[in-house]
Amino acid sequence: MAWTKERLEEVVQTRLANHRLVVVANREPYIHVRRGEEILCVRPASGVTTALDPVVRACGGVWVAHGSGDADRAVSDEQGRFRVPPDNPCYTLRRVWLSREEEEGYYYGFANSAVWPLCHAAYTRPRFESEHWEAYRRVNRKFTEAVLEEIEGESAIVFVQDYHFALLPRMLRQARPDLIVVQFWHIPWPNPEVFRVCPWKEEILDGLLGNNLLAFHTQYHCNNFMETVDRNLEARVCFERFAVTRRGQSTSIKPQPISVDPDEIANLAPPDLDRASKRFRAQMRVGNLPLLVGVDRVDYIKGIPERLRAVDRFLCRYPDWRRKFCFVQVGAPSRVHIGDYRALNEEVEKLVEEINWRHGDSTWDPIVFLHEHHGPDKLYLLYRMASACVVSSLHDGMNLVAKEFVAARADEQGVLILSEFTGAARELPDAVIVNPYALDDLADSYHKALTMPASEQRRRMKRMRRQVSDNNIYRWAGMLLSAAGQYVEPEETLVLRRGLRSPHKNGTPLLKLSVS
């Protein structure tokens, strides 16, 4: 049976009955920003929030996130709550306010200058600062408190996202041992050799083992995590059941690849696709040329310089393509307070300029670099215009651009060029799989894509579309939340536990019996 919004809703209602659903993710799904006198509500450039939003919409509940927009406070209530989506509210966004120092240490510091490069094999060195670590710990505590406030002593499933919150599961468990805590780690988990350089490795692992269930995109990342625990922590690691027991509590480790909502992407099609595409082409000044397209945050894991250098190599190897195609790269600026990211932005700008100078002329530039965030409508158009979408990540947990591209191609045309170092490559073998470090091969893949017969494109795209449609975001959430459902205790035990643990709101315990 196919996974749909409705089926997910049903799972949540039946299996997680009487439990509140609280999602914790650093990035908020809707950000309020000031533009002059106006306040705008924008969607961030994050595959993770785009993927999760339809899930929380289907299940209701609360999303706890960092309130990062400069107008977030102006529109939220005193507790930082705001109902979203603004045009059809169906869940609560609870914003957590962070000071500059907290954001600096927790987000730019520990999360993105230490954990991010540590987990991605992209040869950017992690930086470990004790001040950052302290801020990370403080902010994990702050989020824990916000979650506990939202739950208000009720039963709940807390669905934690990503590497910003390695300590939160243990903190929650200490405060409320009865909570069901599930975490999805959206980025790769490195092997024990790599992880062991982290000065706070034990605390991080212990924090994560506060979860009932900890999930990764691939089996390989699960294996890495198990081995890392085995080498670094006192715990019982069971490779047969894929579970770790520590402090008398067990954590299951499970692979569950994330995906997109293909129907929502299909709905982005404008009523007159041809006209909208023509208008966009005119804006970009690319005429009717075939387009190779890349869509990314400007991040050093994405292999953007590699794919641009491959344009240079392509034009040297296949000079007949001069003036006959364009490479359109959307680069949403990201984490630019971090030196490595600033340097990358400069490197990319410089490369575009150099390659265009070398191969272009007054009528044609081989590369069009759109160095800003684009909303879903514009991205949909680009996906539909593309002869090929290029995903050349040096390392990527999943990469949802690959799946968005496939979901957009209702015409069953277009080629996906996909790095073998993404989680998506395991699920989409019908893409043209490349090693982004091998520039000649990457350049050849452009040629292959631009000359691939329509019938072969269709054959590959059909299979990829079936894969994305069967393994959609509702399946991802449904599988994880069903697994979480296994920890739901029968109602009597719950009532008893609550009665024993804490007084009822008016001071009277709910039950005083002892039930076995």
| Residues engaged in binding ligand G6P (CB under 6 A) | 27, 46-48, 162, 186-187, 297, 334-335
Residue 38's alpha-carbon distances to 42, 70, 74, 375, 440, in angstroms, are: 12, 12, 12, 18, 49
CB of 423 to ligand G6P, least distance (A): 11
Q: Locate tokens 């000079």: which residue?
A: 319
Closest CA to 49 of 208, 162, 153: 162
- Angstrom distance (rounded) from CA 204 to CA 500: 31
Sheet-wide strand order for 156-161: 81-84, 91-96, 62-66, 20-24, 156-161, 180-184, 213-216, 249-255, 243-246, 236-238
Q: Which is nearer to ligand G6P, 397 or 478 (CB)?
A: 397
Kindly tell me which of 295 and 449 has the beta carbon lying closer to ligand G6P.
295
Query: Which of residues 162 and 206 has its CB atom nearest to ligand G6P in the complex?
Result: 162
What does the alpha-carbon distance between residue 107 and residue 114 come to, in Å, rounded to a whole number?
10
Contact 443, 388 (CB under 8 A): no
CB of 185 to ligand G6P, least distance (A): 9
Contacts of residue 274, Cβ cutoff 8 Å, sequence gap at least 6: none
Using a 10 angstrom Cβ sphere, with 0-12 exposed, 13-18 middle and 19 or more buried, the burial of residue 494 is middle
User: 3-state secondary structure string, 297-354?
Assistant: ECCCCCCHHHHHHHHHHHHHHCHHHCCCCEEEEEEECCCCCCHHHHHHHHHHHHHHHH
- Per DSSP, helices labelled H in 122-175 are 130-151, 168-175
Q: How far is the CB of 133 from ligand G6P (least distance, A)?
A: 18
Going by their DSSP bridges, the two strands 156-161 and 91-96 should be labelled as unpaired
Rounded to the nearest 10 degrees, how much is the dihedral formed by the CA atoms of 230, 235, 239, 241? -160
- Residue closer to ligand G6P by CB (options 186, 465) is 186
Q: What is the CA radius of gyration of the chain?
A: 24
Helix, strand, or coil here: 478? Answer: helix
Q: Which is nearer to ligand G6P, 44 or 414 (CB)?
A: 44
Quote the least distance from Cβ 68 to ligand G6P, whole Å. 9
Give the nearer residue to ligand G6P in terms of CB position, either 140 or 445: 140
In terms of CB distance, is 246 or 335 closer to ligand G6P? Answer: 335
Q: Least distance (Å) from ligand G6P to the CB of residue 13?
A: 28
- Concatenating the DSSP letter of every residue in 198-217 gives -TTHHHHHHHHTT-SEEEES
Please state the closest distance from residue 395 (CB atom) to ligand G6P, in A.
12
Nearer to ligand G6P, 163 or 314 (CB): 163
Considering the complex, state which of residue 65 and residue 311 has its C-beta at the smaller distance from ligand G6P: 65
391 and 418 Cβ atoms separated by less than 8 Å: yes
- The two tokens of residue 504 are 């009822």
Name the burial class of residue 507, with classes exposed (0-12), middle (13-18) and buried (19+) by CB atoms within 10 angstroms of its CB.
Answer: exposed
CB of 292 to ligand G6P, least distance (A): 23
Mapping DSSP to helix (H, G, I), strand (E, B) and coil, where does residue 369 land? strand
Which amino acid does the sequence have at 342? R
Residue 297: CB minimum distance to ligand G6P, A? 6
Shortest distance, CB of residue 269 to ligand G6P, whole angstroms?
25
Residue 124 or 457: which CB sits closer to ligand G6P?
124
Please say which residue, 112 or 457, places its beta carbon nearer to ligand G6P: 112
- Report the nearest approach of ligand G6P to the CB of residue 164 (Å): 7
Using the minimum distance from each CB to ligand G6P, give the nearer residue, 47 or 117: 47
DSSP structure string for 501-515: HS--TTS--S-----
- In whole angstroms, the minimum distance from the beta carbon of 27 to ligand G6P comes to 4
Shortest Å, Cβ 74 to ligand G6P? 22
